[in-house]
Chain A
Amino acid sequence: DAGVTQSPTHLIKTRGQHVTLRCSPISGHKSVSWYQQVLGQGPQFIFQYYEKEERGRGNFPDRFSARQFPNYSSELNVNALLLGDSALYLCASSFSGGVGSPLHFGNGTRLTVT
């Protein structure tokens, strides 16, 4: 069975540019969450979507946005990139939208902003 897939795996962008990250959840999973992980820290919650509706939003600026499509895949968009946005972006899916549901992570997208 395919796990959570994320694309691209690596990305290099320049300050001020825009980036779109993509995620496909495990088949049958209806919830997708996005996390940012900086080296040496735990994941920081960005967004959760369940059944195409936003269920939660972390403490990130409005430059970050996301959406979930009818097939439950998701995109994370970041505008006006800053150097501090350089991080590993993780997508996780779960069967239900409950915040206590076990998360299944993709391999992540490593974003470098120069």
Chain B
Amino acid sequence: QKEVEQNSGPLSVPEGAIASLNCTYSDRVSQSFFWYRQYSGKSPELIMSIYSNGDKEDGRFTAQLNKASQYVSLLIRDSQPSDSATYLCAVVMDSNYQLIWGAGTKLIIKP
């Protein structure tokens, strides 16, 4: 089992709709979770960090964390074509205190 798993996609969403990206992780006691966005040929950039169970909202982005079920998700409301990118989930594994990355989900927003 991979430590951090994401559906590779591509996930195709119409413009204006809600895009839902999911990530599961193996370390039950992980405490820190991050979503990064990576445009093709560019480096990752931080979108959201979340540390506690529940929802965290920042503009059109909402991160959701459920530690009991070991998943973290990212919702993008009112999706725009500029949101088309690969979204990377990263988790700090308590077992080795390293930041472990998923392979990313490619999101395509169709005008």
Inter-subunit contact B31/A43 (CB<8 Å): no
- Supposing A90-B44, A100-B92, A103-B46 touch, asked if A40 and B98 sit within 8 A by C-beta, the answer is no
CB pair B42 A99 closer than 8 Å: no
Q: How large is the interface on A (under 10, 10 to 19, 20 to 34, 35 or more residues)?
A: 10 to 19
Number of contact residues on B: which range applies? 20 to 34
Interface residues of B (CB under 8 A from A): 4, 8, 31-32, 34, 42-46, 49, 51, 88, 90, 92, 97-104
Interface of A is mostly: loop
**A102 pairs with B102, CB closer than 8 A:** no
Give Cα A108–Cα B101 distance, bound, in whole angstroms: 17
Residues of A within 8 A of B101 (CB): 42-44
Contact between chains at A99 and B43 (CB < 8 Å): no
Say yes or no: B32 contacts A43, CB within 8 Å: no
Point out the residues of chain A lying under 8 angstroms from B44, CB to CB: 43, 90, 103, 105
Residues of B within 8 Å of A40, CB to CB, are 8, 103
Contact check, A102 vs B34: say whether CB atoms are below 8 A apart. Answer: yes
Nearest CB in chain B: distance from A25 CB, A: 14
Q: Find out whether the CB atom of B88 lies under 8 angstroms from the CB atom of A99.
A: no
19 A-B pairs within 8 Å (CB atoms) are namely: A40-B8, A40-B103, A41-B103, A41-B104, A42-B101, A43-B101, A44-B101, A45-B100, A56-B98, A90-B43, A99-B92, A99-B98, A99-B99, A100-B49, A103-B44, A103-B99, A105-B45, A107-B42, A108-B43
